[in-house]
Structure formats: C-alpha cells, structure tokens
Amino acid sequence: MNERVQNPLRQVHQLGQSIWLDDIRRSWLRDGHLARLIADDALGGVTSNPAIFAKAIGEGAEYNDAITSLARAGRSTNDIYETLALEDVQAAADLFRSTYDSTGGADGFVSLEVSPHLADDTKGTIEEGLRLWQAFNRPNAMIKVPATEAGLPAITALIAAGVNINVTLLFSVDRYRAVVDAYLTGLEQRVQAGRPIDKVASVASFFLSRIDTLIDARLDKMNTAEAKASRGRAAIASARLAYQYYKQWSNSDRWRALADKGARPQRLLWASTSSKDPAYKDTMYVDALVAPNTVNTLPPATIDAFRDHGDAAVRIEDDLAEANETVQILRKLGIELKTVSEQLERDGVKKFKEPFDALFVTLEKRAGK
C-alpha cells in the first residue's frame, strides 16, 4: 500500500488531476495491461485518434483474423475500421465503467474521434458524431471533435444532443475561449429544450509539445541570447494562461446558472505531452501542469517516466508573470501565438489524415480488396 501512495501517478490523482492513457492496443485489453494501469496507477481514462489506430491496427498481426472475417462478410473498408475501433474503445470503456460510476460520471472516459476528413465539415461532423455516439453506446464514451472553425458549431450541436465531447487539436487561448463558448451554448440549448444536462461531459484538449517544437525551430534560426532563453517556454506558458481563463469562466454568472442545473465543468486536458526535444526533461509537460479538475493524457513512455521520476505537486499557477512575459517576448521576436496555432491546427489535421488514409490502404490489402 505504501508503494502505491508513493507512486507519483497516484499522487497526481490525489491532487485532483486525472491521468489518461494516450494510446490503445487490443492486446492490452486482453492481457490485463490496461486493467493493471487502472488498479496500480489510478489511470482515469483513454484517448485514441486516427494515428493511434493506424499504428495499432497497421502494425503487427493481432487484428488479422478479425479483418479477414469482416472482409469475408462483405464489409467495406470503412466498416472494417469502425468495427475494429469500436470493439476496442467499447472494451476499454467497460474496464473504466467502475471508475465512471464511483466518480459519479466525473471520470473514466474513453474517446473515439470522427474522421479527420470532416475537420472542415460542420454538418458531416455532427452526423458522424451522432452515429459514432450511438454505435459506441456507453455512458463513459467521448466523441473527439477538432477545435476548427467548422468544429465549433458541431461541438455546440452535439453537446445540445447530449453527446460527451473531447475537443481536440486546441493550440491557443483565443481558440479555447471559443471552445468554452461552444460548450456553454450547447448546454444552454439543451436547457431551453427541457433536457437534463447533469450527465453531459466534455474536455478541451490543449496540445503542448507541438507548440514548442514549432516555436523552438523558429527561435533556433534567430540564434540570439533572447531567442535561446525563450526555448521550451511557449507551451507551458500557454497552458497556464488557459487555466487562468478556465478559472475565470467557471466563476462566471453564465456558468453558475448552468451549474445550478447540474452542469459539469468542461475540464482542460493537456495533450501532446511527450517531450520531443531530448534537451528537455521527459516529464516537463506533466510536472509543470498538475492542477485540480484537469486531465493529462500521456503516451505509455511518459506514463512510465512519470511513475519512475515524476514530481507530483500543484504548479499550474507558478510563474504566471513569466507566462505573460513569455508571450510578450515572443511577440517582440515576431512570433504570434495566434498565427502559430493556426498553422499547428492545419498541420494537426494533416497529421491525422495521412495515417488514417494509410490505414485504409493497409486494411484493403489485408482484406484482399
């Protein structure tokens, strides 16, 4: 028991932050690996995306029998993909059902993303979001929708329909404000329709390491002392400022009116949390951003690293003055976070489309099409 208490992952849980796994494998569902993470590390959920499924299904042979069986049944490539993905996320959601129940529906979620080809299609996103929600058929399901311009009204419509939403590909505080408004508007529409809002859940996934990777590359080209001193600061600064906005809106009269009717706050979720630069500590995006009522979704290697040498303490509001100063210094150096976020959003959609399309090619080959 003492070892569990000292486990930094469990300590973070005690501080009010939920750790989710940013990966999924069928073998982990069957060999007890995921169940052990839940029991030993207080793991609170799972996120998936097109790139994760492309890797899981495309590499290795564990899905081959299922692919062959579905192909023989005459299923289309898209049907094969969705069947495999849904089987995995449903099995994961069932493992987290006790977490969901014991927390009164506050945690224990498993996410499945709409097609990345719908990132600029509001109507298509709504239709696919509803279809996947119904097919997933678990109360602790979340449907991932990108925070694109087209995604924002889809988020509102799906929340109004009672769908749990994981808002993904969020890179800036400005866009986060729009995401919050989309969530609150969806809840308000649901109230106006006379429907309950106490079971609707959402997270806003703020991507981190990709911000630093892009900005650091620009700083390196400048090769000045000020530029070098600014490396690796933009993402954490952005996250800390986003958390300040979370505190602001979750204390507003608009939110209190919804909370009085049972609404759940949309939690900030830190995503893209593996350090891409070997010069940085491998747990930097975990150590710095522990905060109550937030989520951090970690790939397996980062989970292992934080379990081994993570430093669990609430630091989200450390160095707020420095966070604001970082934004100003970057602006002085000609780097606007809003412009950076726009590029990262488009790059992010592309990074999901490419493996998604490659997966379909792989499925067609294995299905003999």
User: Model pTM?
Assistant: 0.96
CA–CA dist 77, 161 (Å, integer): 29
Q: Which parts of the chain have pLDDT scores under 70?
A: 1-5, 369
Predicted pLDDT at 369: 65
Q: What is the pLDDT of residues 294-334, one digit of tens each?
A: 999 999 999 999 999 999 999 999 989 999 999 999 999 99
CATH number of 2-209+235-316+348-366: 3.20.20.70
Give catalytic residues, as residue numbers: 144
Predicted pLDDT at 307: 98
**Residues constituting the chain:** 369
Is residue 58 a contact partner of residue 359, using CB atoms and an 8 Å limit?
yes
CA–CA dist 188, 166 (Å, integer): 18
Tokens representing 251 are: 């204390």
CA–CA dist 339, 230 (Å, integer): 18
CA–CA dist 121, 150 (Å, integer): 6
Predicted pLDDT at 1: 42
Nearest to 164 by CA among 274, 89, 250, 239: 89
